[in-house]
Structure 1
Amino acid sequence: MVELTVPYESRMEEAHAFKEAKYLELTKELKKDGYEAKEEEKERKEEKKEEDKEEEEEEEEEEEEEKERKKEKEEEEKEDKKKEEIEEEEIEEEEKEEEKEKRVT
């Protein structure tokens, strides 16, 4: 009976060693998977930051373009207004000259 106990204990030790090795292997894989998941999450965050930054830059460019368009429009309106004023003055001068001519004749 003593002979049966030794192989049994030996088999139990082997089984325990196998289970422990398997546990360590699985733990290592889980850690690796966790690390990879963290790296992927980190990469996604960096990509999102870059996308957000690009969007912000595009918005700033659009705002600058809008400001430039407004400025150009205001300048055009000022020029148009000046032209109108000049035309009105010319018309008034012509009318005055016509009145003078009418008075003279």
Structure 2
Amino acid sequence: MKKLIAALVAGLFATAAFAASHAAAPATPATPAATPAAAADASAPKAKKVKKAKKAKKAAAAK
């Protein structure tokens, strides 16, 4: 019975080490791909702000 428990515990550690080593590797190449998307999101509020300013300017000219 002790050998069975020892084998299960050893398998658990091996699985955890294997999963931890493979989980971190794909994350590095994905980071540069996410950067342009973040830059596009940052420009969207600026475009909204410009549009809102034009609308306010037009409304002020109409008064």
TM-score range, shorter chain: 0.5 to 0.7
Unpaired stretches in structure 1, ≥5 consecutive residues: 1-60
Q: Which has the larger radius of gyration?
A: 1
TM-score where L is the length of structure 2: 0.52
TM-score where L is the length of structure 1: 0.34
Q: What are the superposed Cα offsets for residues 57-99 of structure 1, whole Å, 9 maximum, x if unpaired?
A: xxxx77x91xx32332122221111111111111110111111
**Aligned residue number for residue 86 of structure 1:** 44
Richer in helix (by share): 1
Following the alignment from structure 1 to structure 2, what is the Cα–Cα distance between the partners of residues 96 and 71?
41
**Aligned residue number for residue 56 of structure 2:** 98
Unpaired stretches in structure 2, ≥5 consecutive residues: 1-20
Following the alignment from structure 2 to structure 1, what is the Cα–Cα distance between the partners of residues 51 and 29?
33
Q: How many positions carry a matched residue from both structures? A: 42
Identical-pair percentage: 5
RMSD over aligned Cα, in angstroms?
2.2
